[in-house]
Amino acid sequence: MATWDDVHRIATALPEVTERESGEGLISWRVKDKAFAWDRPLRKADLAALGAAAPDGPVLAASVPDLGAKEALLADDPAVYFTTPHFDGYAAILVRLAEIDTAELTELLTEAWLCRAPKRLAKRHEDDH
């Protein structure tokens, strides 16, 4: 079970990450001012679309490399990953934060960071690891 503290710790350990709070108090994690992960509470339309499947805990949104990766995550672990019509056609996944373990969260956030980081920075990070 992951927490927002885990997200903060993992995300800010990646190179050149900044954490930004919106006027509504929602946090996003950015690399070179491009968001790669963010707090994404469900909206009324999301709740209506999800119905009984709507999670009641915190929801993290994260970038994924492409729609194929998104579909793979959705198929692989629907207890953790989900989407809403708002995200149709968009390379991002929603995560039931309470259902993901920290090892998988680390992998997800690192991949999200790699999707949004400048190519040179991403290559340097991959070379170092």
Tens digits of per-residue pLDDT, 68-126? 999 999 999 999 999 999 999 999 999 999 999 999 999 999 999 999 999 999 888 88
Q: What is the pLDDT of residue 109?
A: 98
Q: What is the band of 12 on the pLDDT scale with cuts at 50, 70, 90?
A: very high
Give the chain's length.
129
Domains of the chain are 4-122 (3.90.1150.30)
Task: Tell me the average pLDDT across 62-72.
Answer: 97
Burial class (CB in 10 A: 0-12, 13-18, 19+), 96: buried
The stretch 47-64 carries a mean pLDDT of 95
What is the predicted pLDDT for the residue at 128?
82
